[in-house]
A and B are shown apart, each in its own frame.
Chain A
Amino acid sequence: MTQALVDRHDVELAALAAAGGRREFGELVRRHGSAVRALLRRMGAQPSLADDIAQDAFIQAFQRCGEFRGEGTFAAWVKRIAARLYIKRVAKEARYTAEVEQEDVAPAADQAGLMDLDEALKSLSEPERLCVSLCHGAGMAHPEIASALNLPLGTVKSHVKRGLDKLRARLQPEPAQPLGRTQHVG
């Protein structure tokens, strides 16, 4: 009996997709489409652009499926493809080809004290947001980001550090209180 697609592992599906299995690849898109789209949005892409690039990334992944050896996760592999496609796109617009110094976005008041990542990322400048997303979302190393963005390594490190500092301030406003714990009043 044929094993159901939902029961198959990503590596197995990727191998079948590499042999031309579009249905198997469709299952991979169903599993990881949202993650790739979310990463691109977190990198700063507008939703429609993020979706276009995510589609391109999956098409490219299908064509290159034979290259996926299962050394990392399939999602991480597609995310890197998507991230590189997005970088190419923004490089065309020359938004990150030189060191960009821009005014930090003023963080909105956060009465609840906790914010989700997507909201917190909005408080970062565009280069910071991109570098942090590439580093922690797409799993790219600093030199890899520097090379892809055509930025000096020190600048990338600086963007990542400042971005993380801002995220920490936004996501962890009260250091004494551990994240995820509910404060009991009474």
Chain B
Amino acid sequence: MSADEFDPFVERLFARTPAMPDAPLFTAQVEQRLQKGSRIRFLALALAGLGGGAVAVRETMTVDLDLGAREGVVAGDALGQGIQSASLNVQSTIQGGLDQVGLSNLELGSMGGMQLFWIAAAALIALAAAGVMKLSQEV
């Protein structure tokens, strides 16, 4: 057999896969590692999301979440006031945007402030969820 014939012959030999009795075990180990990695990624993303969400909520509402009640304010009241003021902010921001695009006739005031707040919050959550999904596919 010449060298020209021998090279493909060796490649064919390399392409032959020997039978490995523990092949199912190997496959199971890889699948287990994939599952574990996926769980860790999910937990990391969930923790990051919770942390980021808490910071975002805190920043948005400018609420002092210190439950030590330094000023004697009940935490629940503070949170309620925060949401109320945030919703008004959101409403005025959206209304401003609508005014700029010539839709000033569209009255958002007819919707409740809390309603608008939750719509905006839902949109943000959906956006964040889409981002997380995309990220988890890329990682």
Q: Report which A residues bind B (CB closer than 8 A).
A: 19-20, 22, 25-26, 29-30, 33-35, 37-39, 42, 51, 54-55, 58-59, 62-63, 116-118, 132-133, 136-137, 164, 167-168, 171-172, 175, 178-179
- CB of A175 within 8 A of CB of B1, answer yes
List of A residues within 8 angstroms of B3 by Cβ:
164, 168
Instruction: Flag whether B35 is at the interface (Cβ < 8 A).
Output: yes
Instruction: Flag whether B99 is at the interface (Cβ < 8 A).
Output: no
Please give me the residue from chain B that is nearest to A51 by CB atom.
B26
List of A residues within 8 angstroms of B1 by Cβ:
168, 172, 175, 178-179
- CB of B26 within 8 A of CB of A117, answer no
- Within B92-139, the residues touching A (CB, 8 Å) are 136-137, 139
3 pairs of A and B residues whose beta carbons are closest in the complex: A137-B14, A117-B13, A35-B17
Please give me the residue from chain A that is nearest to B16 by CB atom.
A117
- A68→B13 CA distance, assembly (Å): 25
Which of B11, B15, B27 sits near A30, CB closer than 8 Å?
B27
- A54→B25 CA distance, assembly (Å): 13
List of B residues within 8 angstroms of A62 by Cβ:
34
List of A residues within 8 angstroms of B38 by Cβ:
22
Q: Supply 20 further A-B pairs (C-beta < 8 A) apart from A51-B26, A117-B10, A167-B10.
A: A22-B34, A22-B38, A25-B34, A29-B26, A30-B23, A33-B30, A34-B17, A35-B17, A42-B14, A59-B37, A62-B34, A117-B13, A132-B10, A136-B7, A164-B7, A168-B3, A171-B9, A172-B1, A172-B6, A179-B1
- CB of A33 within 8 A of CB of B23, answer yes
Interface of B is mostly: helix
- Within B1-59, the residues touching A (CB, 8 Å) are 1, 3, 6-7, 9-11, 13-20, 23-24, 26-27, 29-31, 33-35, 37-38
List of B residues within 8 angstroms of A136 by Cβ:
7, 10-11, 14
Please give me the residue from chain A that is nearest to B38 by CB atom.
A22
- CB of A37 within 8 A of CB of B6, answer no
Q: Report which B residues bind A (CB closer than 8 A).
A: 1, 3, 6-7, 9-11, 13-20, 23-24, 26-27, 29-31, 33-35, 37-38, 136-137, 139
Most buried by A among B7, B14, B34: B14
List of B residues within 8 angstroms of A137 by Cβ:
14
- CB of A164 within 8 A of CB of B10, answer yes
- CB of B20 within 8 A of CB of A37, answer yes
- CB of A118 within 8 A of CB of B18, answer yes
